[in-house]
Amino acid sequence: MCYKTQEEDDDLAYFDCLPDALLLLIFNKLHDLKSLTNCLSVSKRFRSLVPFTDTIFISIPPLPKPSNTAASYINNTLRQVFHNLFLKPVRCFHRLMASPKSTTMSFDISCCHSNGVLRIFKEMKSLHLELPLHGAGELGSSNGATFLQWKADFGSNLRTCIIVGATSFQKCNTFSSSAIFSQRKEERVFMEETVLNDDELKLRVIWTISCLIAASTRQYLLKQILADNPNIPMLERVVISDANKQGMFSMGKEELVEMRNSIDTKQEASSSSMERSPIPEVNMKLWYLPMLDLPDSGYVMKGATLVLIRPVVDGMIENNSDDPLVGDEKPFSEAVREMIKVKKSYLMTMSSF
């Protein structure tokens, strides 16, 4: 038998004096699923209010590592793609990838299924899932990039993807950074004329495919969650990121409605064996600089690369540094703003895969 101390009784009494609206505000600030679940057992009042929390954060644990990890599978697939199918790197890409086997999802989402704890939050408006460091979360180190970040916006299909990568990413010495940045400003005109050779271009396309696979895996995951939880119609915002903050998948209210409609009207059997959604034919615009200084963030990038991706039906990509996907994160946003000023760019088309 468990007995409460006088101090614990006093704490509960203080909470009892708070109005429901203030308690809900506290729960929404708390927002962590594990903590909210623990609150369910604190008192009857907590148990009655917690389900009305509208902001939920879930850190999804990894599954035990199998002998053949998702990361090694993706790397082997990409290597095979470029040995066999990389024929016209600038003008066109033929079909890049056959349907991979079910190896991409290596995390436990049982709490998000219809019989999981997520089902109690019927008024949830914002959901943030954080995936563990595994597979797609280790793209940079496995594909020759020391900096690789991406952001993707989906509806029923891909809408926009922004990728920033670099072969070297270092903090600049604070005492010499101003002088270095000033000196390299004069060199930038010459660097903008630098042409990527075939090997460098292939490497950057590998980064692009890796990020698109990671993004499409997250879209597939969200489809399963929405199909399993039809009781959360108030959902207006979903973000799926990873513990390494490498990639961010986001959807707003309109995009979620579009996805729900696609789940109701389309058969998902063809993609279920892949554990990711198909990527449509896309247009890609790529900018490159051998050296990029980020004075606001205090970093220097070597082999700096920016890739903007949109489906072919949306037409070619305009230069727009105000894209809502860019956000305020440094140095990602600063790199996008600087790279998009570069006049020289590469235009490519990638077939669906």
Residue 85 has pLDDT above 90, yes or no: no
Joined together, the tokens standing for residue 84 give: 């066999």
For the segment 59-71, what is each residue's pLDDT rounded down to a tens digit? 988 876 655 555 5
**How far apart are the C-alpha atoms of 271 and 216, rounded to whole Å?**
10
Do strands 126-131 and 237-242 pair parallel, antiparallel, or not at all (unpaired)?
parallel
Question: By mean pLDDT, which of 29-33, 265-269, 297-301, 330-334 is the weakest?
Answer: 265-269
What pLDDT does residue 326 have? 60
pTM flag (> 0.85): no
Closest by CA position to 60, among listed 104, 112, 103, 113: 112
What pLDDT does residue 2 have? 42
SS3 assignment, position 50: helix
Q: What DSSP state is assigned to residue 28?
A: H
**How far apart are the C-alpha atoms of 20 and 133, rounded to whole Å?**
37
Joined together, the tokens standing for residue 286 give: 């790529």
